[in-house]
């Protein structure tokens, strides 16, 4: 089932998005036929995960053209609408990269835009499958174990987060297919539980043994020797290997470094931002305070408390044992930097 899963699907006149805010108990879709609905879907995490957002943004250019034709917009109005889509999630560089790529065909008309958007989606699936193989090969060599591996992951990096198959979860699927995976520890991922709601749901579809654990349990699980490696995704990777990912990732990386086990980042090259020299230049999105001050709409913190809710953190490149893309694996902590090898 998960191999056929498409979080983003073009219907011919609009987008159909799996509503990831409703999983795992309700499998529903959202039909998107205008720019306002798409921007809202991206910001509310109806569609989420940097590659999936990139695919949605690519098709969003077509959506803006169709809406502009329907409502009599000028070219300037269409371009302004595209800019709104491009800026809907500022940390995830894939959104900007994919929108910019499709906009190179903008003046050729709708058919050309759709052709380029479809290429973005197709290439992401191909990239995910390639990095699954590279990542599995590298991990099995690094771990140096004949037994199946115990893997920890953070947030959701599967088919739901991409155009299909998955990044970090794609590596996990490859290990499972080879009979080299014992169990997955899936961090629940605060504040919206992408790990327990989405990663666990995908692992159930695959029949992969797993535990869901609190984010705060991750370091202890690693230091007790219950994990052989951690695999995570990324929303933006700087030229020096500094990696922005879902908040809580840097704690996993620090624990892996202390325990001496591999910390692997899996992401397509569209996530690598060579124009950003270090992680200091990555904008960290702050989400609404209510996500940490409330639970299911009920206030859990005192009325006088304020909420600090960064959506991402930045893991220094020196803690990234390996970065796997569709081109292979860079051992970033050993000095193989994206800015040197992927430019």
Tell me which residues are annotated as active site.
Answer: 235
Cα–Cα distance measured from residue 45 to residue 225, given in angstroms and rounded to the nearest whole number: 34
Burial of residue 184 (number of CB atoms within 10 Å: 0-12, 13-18, 19+): buried
Compute, in degrees rounded to 10, the torsion defined by CA atoms 185, 188, 194, 196: 70
Cα–Cα distance measured from residue 23 to residue 160, given in angstroms and rounded to the nearest whole number: 11
How far apart, in Å, do the first and last CA atoms of the chain sit?
36
**Contact 164/125 with Cβ under 8 angstroms?**
yes
Cα–Cα distance measured from residue 285 to residue 204, given in angstroms and rounded to the nearest whole number: 31
Cα–Cα distance measured from residue 251 to residue 256, given in angstroms and rounded to the nearest whole number: 9
List, as one string, the DSSP characters of 111-165.
Answer: HHHHHHHHHHHHHHHHHHHHHHHHHHHHHHHHH--SSPEEEEE-S--BGGGSSSS
Rounded to 5°, the CA angle 113-53-157 comes to: 135
Short-list 233, 223, 131, CA closest to 175: 131
Q: Look at the alpha carbons of 295, 300, 304, 307 in this order and tell me if their dihedral is positive or negative.
A: negative
């Amino acid at each position: 089932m998960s191999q056929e899963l498409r979080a983003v699907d073009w219907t011919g006149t609009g987008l159909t998005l799996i509503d990831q805010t409703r999983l795992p108990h309700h499998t529903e879709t959202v039909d998107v036929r205008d720019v306002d609905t798409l921007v809202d879907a991206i910001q509310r995490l109806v569609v989420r995960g940097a590659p999936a957002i990139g695919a949605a943004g690519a098709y969003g250019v077509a959506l803006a053209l169709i809406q502009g034709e329907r409502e009599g917009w000028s070219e300037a109005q269409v371009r302004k609408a595209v800019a709104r889509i491009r800026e809907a999630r500022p940390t995830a560089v894939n959104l900007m990269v994919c929108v910019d790529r499709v906009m190179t065909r903008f003046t050729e008309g709708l058919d050309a835009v759709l052709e380029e958007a479809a290429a973005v989606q197709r290439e992401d699936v191909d990239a995910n499958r390639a990095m699954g193989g590279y990542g599995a090969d590298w991990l099995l060599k690094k771990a140096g174990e004949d037994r199946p591996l115990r893997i920890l992951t953070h947030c959701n990096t599967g088919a739901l987060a991409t155009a299909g198959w998955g990044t970090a979860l794609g590596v996990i699927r490859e290990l499972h297919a080879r009979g080299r995976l014992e169990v997955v520890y899936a961090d629940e991922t605060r504040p919206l539980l992408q790990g327990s709601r989405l990663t666990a749901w995908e692992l159930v579809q695959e029949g992969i043994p797993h535990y869901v654990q609190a984010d705060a349990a991750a370091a202890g699980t690693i230091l007790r020797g219950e994990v052989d490696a951690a695999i995570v995704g990324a929303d933006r990777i700087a030229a020096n290997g500094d990696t922005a990912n879902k908040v809580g990732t840097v704690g996993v990386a620090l624990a892996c470094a202390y325990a001496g086990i591999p910390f692997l980042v899996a992401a397509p090259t569209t996530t690598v931002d060579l124009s950003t020299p270090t992680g200091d230049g990555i904008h960290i999105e702050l989400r609404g305070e209510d996500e940490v001050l409330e639970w299911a709409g009920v206030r859990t913190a005192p009325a006088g408390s304020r909420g600090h809710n960064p959506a991402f953190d930045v893991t220094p490149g020196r803690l990234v044992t390996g970065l796997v893309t569709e081109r292979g694996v860079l051992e970033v902590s050993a000095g193989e930097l994206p800015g040197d090898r992927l430019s």
